[in-house]
Amino acid sequence: MKNLQKMVSAITLCVGMVAGAQAAPDTIKFSHVVAENTPKGQMALKFRDLVAERIGDKYVVEVYPNSQLFGDGKEMEALILGDIQFIAPSLSKFSKYTKQLQIYDLPFLFKDMAAVDRFQRSEAGQALLNSVQGKGLTGLGYLHNGLKQLSANDPLRVPSDADGKKFRIMSSDVLAAQFEAVDAVPLKKPFSEVFTLLQTRAIDGQENTWSNIYSKKFFEVQPYITESNHGVLDYMVTTSNEFWSGLPDADRDVLKKALDEAVAHGNQIANEKGMKDRQNIIDSGRSQVITLTDAERQQWVEVMKPVWGEFQEQIGQSLIDAAVASNQ
């Protein structure tokens, strides 16, 4: 009898342990390459908090910033392999998976972030979120960072000032063509290497948004920043088809809603943060912000805009027309 009681207790304990194990929340890893005090960094943290609040018994989001877990080049593969569940790469980093998103790299395409936003909300912009579906990736939404500026060791006022200079670019052929158009030398390098490349003068300059230039301290090693607003740096929040379709419907809905709210939060701070970090850079006195005259800016437009023609076939003219129309 005693033995039977012992056996029953042991079975009860085992069942309890298994039930307990099943109840442990699943870990969702969100990996990104920027600092936490950026629109993307803040969005990821907001997502983590909303998930904890709403469905924390089932999922826990772990955020890995600053290329801590995976840097450029590796994060998409890691997502497809299931090592992580969310990333939000810059739209410039998808060219291995789709040529259509190259549209966002065309220089001087959007007149401001409101135009970018209008395009992203349009039917054509929304359809682009599905452009990587065939490659195992699910685009869940756009996130803003902002317009890019040019930083360098020397002042850049007109295109000929960039002649022969080496610029770090993201992994985009359009961005390569953009710098080649001004006779500069583009080098595709991961974001995590940019500060050291600039500091050691292995390269002369780079292009980025105010919040990235500030949070990664590029301004401390780049004496000049030209406020060119020549292109956009936005993101696509991305998961894998396998992870997303494997979720129970009700959980997927909760996670998507939390993500949409986190993205809205990130978008709201993107603009404010950009302007604040621009001012922080000016106040630091480490870097001089160069404002172009209309005539100087027009020179950059004239030299860089022909790049559109080179990529027209890959991107599609109707998509380019839809983006141009968003400027009205």
Binding site for ligand LMR (CB under 6 A): 33-34, 90, 145, 170, 191, 208, 212, 233
Minimum distance of ligand LMR from residue 212's CB (angstroms): 5
Q: Which residues contact 326 (CB under 8 A, 6 or more apart)?
A: 110, 115, 116, 118, 119, 122, 125
* Radius of gyration of the chain from its Cα atoms, rounded to whole angstroms: 23
Structure tokens at 292: 């172009």
Residue with tokens 């290329």: 67
Task: Report how far residue 109's alpha carbon sits from residue 206's, in angstroms, rounded to the nearest whole number.
Answer: 19
Chain centre to alpha carbon of residue 240: 16
Query: Is the CB of 35 or the CB of 282 nearer to ligand LMR?
Result: 35
Minimum distance of ligand LMR from residue 214's CB (angstroms): 12
Query: Is the CB of 106 or the CB of 170 nearer to ligand LMR?
Result: 170
Minimum distance of ligand LMR from residue 27's CB (angstroms): 23
Q: In terms of DSSP bridges, do strands 137-147 and 232-240 run parallel, antiparallel, or are they unpaired?
A: antiparallel
Minimum distance of ligand LMR from residue 97's CB (angstroms): 15
Query: Is the CB of 158 or the CB of 281 nearer to ligand LMR?
Result: 281
Q: What is the number of H-type helices and E-type strands within the chain? A: 13, 10
Minimum distance of ligand LMR from residue 238's CB (angstroms): 12
Query: Is the CB of 85 or the CB of 171 nearer to ligand LMR?
Result: 171
Q: Which residue blocks in the chain are alpha helix, DSSP H? A: 2-23, 39-55, 75-81, 113-121, 123-127, 173-180, 194-199, 210-215, 241-245, 249-284, 294-304, 307-315, 317-325
Query: Is the CB of 45 or the CB of 158 nearer to ligand LMR?
Result: 45
Query: Is the CB of 61 or the CB of 170 nearer to ligand LMR?
Result: 170
Minimum distance of ligand LMR from residue 321's CB (angstroms): 26
Q: Which residues contact 172 (CB under 8 A, 6 or more apart)?
A: 92, 93, 95, 102, 105, 188
